[in-house]
Structure 1
């Protein structure tokens, strides 16, 4: 399953979850992020829903 990592392995490797919302500082950032999502996978409704959640 994509996007799921073994928590033990992540801790051993020092990998922390990436949270896109932490980097969205302005309306322009949000617009660019949404556009990148549409450009990358225009037919992926689940990705678009996740992106909207990050922006919200």
Structure 2
């Protein structure tokens, strides 16, 4: 992450987060499903298994 200093206009580099290797999978549907899980719980919808990440097609 780059942070620009307002006085000196220099960039500070912060590496305080771990960089995980790319697993080559698309996790978008997993994140969207997690967002909708609470709505399913409130409406008492039947159980749905977790969505699995898809392989990226390049």
Superposition TM-score, scaled by structure 2 size: 0.28
Structure with a larger share of its residues in strand = 2
**Which is greater in Rg?**
2
